[in-house]
Amino acid sequence: MTPNIFFSRRIRKTPFEDRVYEQGVKGFTVYNQMPLATSYTTVEDDYWHLREHVQLWDVACERQVEVRGPDALKLIQLSTPRDISKCAIGQCVYAPLCDEDGGIVNDPLLLRFADDHFWVSIADSGVLLWLKGLAAGLSLDVEVSDPDIGPCALQGPKADAVMQSLLDIDVHTIKFFRFVEVELAGVAVVVARSGWSGQGGYEIYLKNASHGLALWDAIWEAGEAHDIRAGCPNLIERIESGLLSYGNDMTNDNNIFECGLDRFITLGKQADYLSREALDKISRDGTTIKLVNLEFDGGPTPPLRATWPVYAGDEQAGILTSAAWSPRLERNIAFASVGIEYANTGQALGVKPAGEPATREATVVPPWRGS
Amino acid sequence: MTPNIFFSRRIRKTPFEDRVYEQGVKGFTVYNQMPLATSYTTVEDDYWHLREHVQLWDVACERQVEVRGPDALKLIQLSTPRDISKCAIGQCVYAPLCDEDGGIVNDPLLLRFADDHFWVSIADSGVLLWLKGLAAGLSLDVEVSDPDIGPCALQGPKADAVMQSLLDIDVHTIKFFRFVEVELAGVAVVVARSGWSGQGGYEIYLKNASHGLALWDAIWEAGEAHDIRAGCPNLIERIESGLLSYGNDMTNDNNIFECGLDRFITLGKQADYLSREALDKISRDGTTIKLVNLEFDGGPTPPLRATWPVYAGDEQAGILTSAAWSPRLERNIAFASVGIEYANTGQALGVKPAGEPATREATVVPPWRGS
């Protein structure tokens, strides 16, 4: 028998949760102490629909950490090696947050509303308390809070058509990773061209959580002509699109060089940020492991509960961190963290799924995006 | 249909998880990004068994934040208004952590191993990153980490008998909230007389997670003569015992005066800790709300998904934060956060459970512990 899930007040209710149940959610996980759907039909069927049509996702678990005040930019800039002075008002930037040891704390999207006002749209870790701790330790003049701003996402190739029917402005004026503050069906929202899939679309940030169902229903109604369905971040699609999951593919034990995210170090050598010394040192010394794309033989596997070992001959070469059977590519696709000597494209490796007696043949491959 | 739960690597696997499934876990929640069982039979049946026999709980989700180094005591002391200089080596103390606004960050047990070595055994919030942020901001010489130390708990009136059959020392020499470092069935552990129930017992901290099943099996075997069962923190028992749940009964929006935890302010007026100014001010000004024990009429209710409103006549007087039907007391028992003017014992109030058309009559009552 499958155990039930039990959500109390401690797992914050999302503004859209009633609709998630009404749409027949099949699975849940917990993310930032909030529920997150994992499928509505099967992961595979959700995948095909996302690639062809449009889906409405409850991603309120992408909590917003709000940073306001005279030292807001200073605090944000301390937390990341990405140059935030280049982030315009109305822009979103992907900015890995790194601690003083170079470890990744989170990989959020930053939204800049004003010189002294940011949202940090977080992956699953305690960024609120980290930024509060940093600010308190440094006596910064800044307010760090966790307002109940529940994002939903509209993702898929038909997202533009649905959004256009809801807004007065031409949606093509909203460029990639830019946002506008508008009313949608009378509800005050922030609409950004962004989202955790490679299929295009929007994230819609609900400023007042009590209007969640009205917002959901308005988008749903506009989507009915376009085969809209309830959906959620899709394991197959996100691996194909090269989207890393914090907590799965990288943790606080990893640095951004190991994960191929060092291109986001855009601050100069003289800049003052928390991880500078550590990242400088790692840059000089190099890393011993690297995150790679992997394909492996055989049919679909059960989902990973934890990492699986990756072998080079009899030696353990690393760990597999996420995997899915792609019904389109007709193979298993995965991310793995392996020794740097095994990280070249074409490297032959072995993967041992939990509960299987033998290893399966695996190969390091280029990104699937666009394939 | 009940949605499934989906745990990936991001929800860290516990050292005892295989046994939790083998023992027929009926429900799960997620706590500190780890699974936590919520029942094995029914919450009511688990309750009776816990009060009469002994249970083994997988509470690895009570993660240990380890603080080591020359500034360890300084960092710990900054984080709480409780005087930690009085915590002896080998002692555990309950110490609410408070931020610079006086808000509760967590309510952990602190374990002191040496002058420069503590474990913070945490409730469900990001204490790791909070202490790391504080330490980085203050440039403290300290290492804050999250070792994979999985506690299990042995709780219930027969816990002493089971533990005695496993240890060479007289278990009565382990006093309340004291711990010893020992080997149990060849596994290195820390055994503390503590636990999240009012029934007495131990928490056993596994230092090396790979020995989890060996530890579980050894305790289980010793318990079979005492009707041992797998169990978990029990909603009914913990409310009766007056144990507050962080995230449910109190959040970062609450201060320790509101929750009746101000007796843990044991530092003097001149001491230097993060929340001192804020707590001094709250102490002078008083609070507007207070957490109370509440009983309400009618039969059992479905579990709370979120808070329920509490009324005084037609006025909203506060929120109900946790509730359970006590089969022993034959009434609904609850915690509620209400306006200070409604917080006196005997105050008549109304509770409106979600989905019910009418309010139920309620009364503020003294603690149930011992009743």
**Given this model, what pLDDT does residue B1 score?**
58
**Given this model, what pLDDT does residue A168 score?**
94
Contact B3 A25 (CB under 8 A): yes
Distance CA A221, CA A201 (A): 17
pLDDT band at A1 (very low <50, low <70, confident <90, very high): low
pTM above 0.90, yes or no: yes
pLDDT at A3 over 80: no
The CATH number of A64-145 is which of 3.40.640.10, 3.30.70.1400, 3.40.50.300, 3.40.605.10? 3.30.70.1400
Q: Print burial letters for A152-179: b (CB count within 10 Å at least 16), e (below 16).
A: bbbbbebbbebbeebbeeebeebeebbb
Instruction: Using CB atoms, pick whichever of B4, B28, B133 lies closest to residue A137.
Output: B133
CA of B167 to nearest chain A CA: how many angstroms apart?
Answer: 33
Instruction: Using CB atoms, pick whichever of B13, B27, B126 lies closest to residue A126.
Output: B126
Fold for B17-62+148-239, please state it: Gyrase A; domain 2 (3.30.1360)
Closest CA to A339 of A281, A284, A287, A282: A287
Distance CA B219, CA A6 (A): 27
Tell me: the pLDDT tens digits for B7-28? 999 999 999 999 999 999 999 9
pLDDT band at A4 (very low <50, low <70, confident <90, very high): confident
Fold for B64-134, please state it: Alpha-Beta Plaits (3.30.70)
Contact residues on chain B for A304, CB-CB shorter than 8 A:
8-9
Fold for B288-371, please state it: Elongation Factor Tu (Ef-tu); domain 3 (2.40.30)
Contact residues on chain A for B30, CB-CB shorter than 8 A:
11, 29-30, 33
> What are the residue ranges spanned by the domains of chain B?
17-62+148-239, 64-134, 288-371
**Given this model, what pLDDT does residue B3 score?**
75
pLDDT band at A271 (very low <50, low <70, confident <90, very high): confident
Q: Cα–chain-centroid distance for residue B258?
A: 18
Residues in CB range of B370: below 8 A, 6 or more apart: none
**Given this model, what pLDDT does residue B196 score?**
97
Phi and psi at A348, nearest 5°, equal -85, 130
**Given this model, what pLDDT does residue A270 score?**
76
Residues in CB range of B125: below 8 A, 6 or more apart: A126, A129, B105, B106, B246, B247, B252
Say if B241 is an interface residue toward chain A (CB within 8 Å).
Answer: no
Contact B100 A136 (CB under 8 A): yes
Phi and psi at A295, nearest 5°, equal -120, 145
Tell me: the pLDDT tens digits for A94-112? 999 999 999 999 999 999 9
CA of B189 to nearest chain A CA: how many angstroms apart?
Answer: 24
Question: A197-211, A260-274, B231-245: which has the minimum mean pLDDT?
Answer: A260-274
Tell me: the pLDDT tens digits for A297-322? 999 999 999 999 999 999 999 999 99
**Given this model, what pLDDT does residue A267 score?**
84
Chain B interface test: which of A8, A11, A143 (most B C-beta within 10 Å): A8
Domains A17-63+148-239 and A64-145 share a fold: no
Fold for A17-63+148-239, please state it: Gyrase A; domain 2 (3.30.1360)
Distance CA A191, CA A111 (A): 11
Instruction: Using CB atoms, pick whichever of A13, A28, A130 lies closest to residue B126.
Output: A130
Distance CA A113, CA B367 (A): 48
Distance CA A32, CA B126 (A): 10
CA of A13 to nearest chain B CA: how many angstroms apart?
Answer: 7
CA of A184 to nearest chain B CA: how many angstroms apart?
Answer: 27
Fold for A245-365, please state it: Elongation Factor Tu (Ef-tu); domain 3 (2.40.30)
Instruction: Using CB atoms, pick whichever of B4, B133, B245 lies closest to residue A10.
Output: B245
Contact B132 A136 (CB under 8 A): no
Distance CA B163, CA B160 (A): 5
ipTM of the complex: 0.96
Task: List chain B pLDDT tens, one digit each, 371 residues.
Answer: 577 889 999 999 999 999 999 999 999 999 999 999 999 999 999 999 999 999 999 999 999 999 999 999 999 999 999 999 999 999 999 999 999 999 999 999 999 999 999 999 999 999 999 999 999 999 999 999 999 899 999 999 999 999 999 999 999 999 999 999 999 999 999 999 999 999 999 999 999 999 999 999 999 999 999 999 999 999 999 999 999 999 999 999 999 999 999 999 988 777 889 999 999 999 999 999 999 999 999 999 999 999 999 999 999 999 999 999 999 999 999 999 999 999 999 999 999 999 999 999 999 999 998 77
Tell me: the pLDDT tens digits for A16-50? 999 999 999 999 999 999 999 999 999 999 999 99
Query: Does residue B340 sit in helix, strand or coil?
Result: helix
Say if B209 is an interface residue toward chain A (CB within 8 Å).
Answer: no
Residues in CB range of A350: below 8 A, 6 or more apart: A310, A311, A312, A313, A359, A360, A361, A362
How far is the CA of B306 from the CAs of A11, A25, B74, B316, B323, in angstroms? 9, 19, 37, 16, 11
Instruction: Using CB atoms, pick whichever of A3, A38, A128 lies closest to residue B27.
Output: A3
Distance CA B153, CA B58 (A): 7
